[in-house]
Amino acid sequence: MVMRKLFVPMLVITAAMFAYSPIAIANAPYESTMRLVQKIFYYHFPAWMALTVSVTVCTVASAVYLFKGNARADRIAAAAAEITVIFGLFGLVSGSLWGRKAWGVWWQWDARLTMAFLLELIFFGYILVRNYGGPGAEKLAAAMGIFGGATAPFVYKSVDWWRTVHPKTSVMTTLGETSPQMWYVVWFCTFTILLFMGLLLAARIRLEEQRATLDRLYLEAED
């Protein structure tokens, strides 16, 4: 209920922040080596943050559904899985554009790109099994959600040892000192995208909830 009341005001705020973000990004100072392409970072990094959040939501919700049989948790997990795929795709495309400039190739088997690619596969698998798994597919999908979340650290570690070309996470910590203005803009964009993700999630959950209500009404109408 609270979600529904807040939805429109939040939507307005997010839209305003989105509208302002290009201006903020344009006004941020140029980075010396990457020049214009560095601007991708202002959406690229937030997309990954959103992805991290949605993976976590999906994993936790899947576990709650599996052990408590809570249908609401299942709907949240389903919504989060789809959002993971969307932000994963966004991150992959923006990362690929970055890579074209930074490394001269569209795709580089770099640790984090690979990891993102694999996470994308896992959560695409979640959606596939949910849609084509037949009756009881929710449980199969929940297993995928739990194992997908649990496997992420291993994917990260293995891919990291396997190959690393990606700028280290330290970019974010040093950025605060070298260019406070860039740092602020990054966090502004991150906050915007996270809000956006929250809204998408809420809307998607609402859709699932209405589907569930429809199912229930059908069942009741039969009586």
Partner 1 sequence: MRFLRIAWLVLRKDVAIELRSYEILSTTLFFAVACVAIFSFAFVREGQAPVDAAAGILWIAIAFSGTLALGRTFERERYGETLKALLLAPAPRPAIYLGKLLGIVALLFATEVIVVPMVAFLFSAPFFSRPGLLVALLGLGTIGYAAVGTLFAAMLVRARTRDVMLPILLYPITIPVIIAGVRGTSALLASPVDEPVAMLWIGLLSFFDVVFVTLSLWTFEPLMTE
Partner 2 sequence: MSFDFDRVELSDLSRHFGRRKAVARVSLSLSAGDILGLLGPNGAGKSTLLGMLATLVAPTSGRVTYGGVNASERGQEIRARIGVLAHELHLYPELTARQNLEFFASLHGLADGTMVQTALESAALGDRGEDQVASFSRGMRQRLALERCLLHRPRLVLLDEPFTGLDDRAVRIVADRIRRIASEGAIVVLATHDLDVADGLITRMAVVRAGKLLTDAAIGSGVRQQYRALVESA
Tell me if 132 contacts partner 2 by CB under 8 A. no
Could you say which of 10, 15, 37, 121 contacts partner 1 (CB under 8 A)? 121
Site string for partner 1, 173-202 (x = CB under 8 A): ------------------------------
Tell me if 133 contacts partner 1 by CB under 8 A. yes
Span of 22-30, 86-94, 150-158, 182-190 interacting with partner 1 by CB under 8 A: 150-158
Give me the residues paired with residue 35 across strands.
Answer: 31
Tell me if 143 contacts partner 1 by CB under 8 A. yes
CA distance 32 to 186: 17
What is the residue whose two structure tokens read 């976590």? 56
Tell me if 143 contacts partner 2 by CB under 8 A. no
CB of 127 vs partner 2, minimal distance in Å: 17
Burial of 214 (0-12, 13-18, 19+ CB in 10 A): exposed
Local structure of 144: helix, strand or coil: helix
Q: Which of 178, 215, 212, 171 has the alpha carbon at shortest distance from 48? A: 171
Could you say which of 29, 69, 176, 180 contacts partner 2 (CB under 8 A)? 69
User: What count of other Cβ atoms lies within 10 Å of the Cβ of residue 105?
Assistant: 10
* CA atoms within 13 A of residue 14's CA, in its CB half-sphere: 17
Write the CB contacts of 43 (distance below 8 Å, at least 6 apart in sequence): 90, 94, 189, 193
CA-CA-CA-CA torsion for 154, 159, 110, 87, nearest 10 degrees?
A: -20
133 vs 191 by CB, closer to partner 1? 133
Give me the residues paired with residue 31 across strands.
Answer: 35
77 vs 182 by CB, closer to partner 2? 77
User: What count of other Cβ atoms lies within 10 Å of the Cβ of residue 204?
Assistant: 19
**Residue 37 is encoded by which pair of tokens?**
């392409």
CB of 155 vs partner 1, minimal distance in Å: 5
Could you say which of 12, 23, 26, 150 contacts partner 1 (CB under 8 A)? 150
Could you say which of 106, 132, 154, 218 contacts partner 2 (CB under 8 A)? 218
Tell me if 157 contacts partner 1 by CB under 8 A. yes
Rule CB under 8 A: which residues touch partner 2?
69, 135-136, 215, 218-219, 222-223
Rule CB under 8 A: which residues touch partner 1?
66-67, 118, 121-122, 125, 128-129, 132-134, 136-137, 139-140, 142-144, 146-148, 150-151, 154-155, 157-159, 161-162
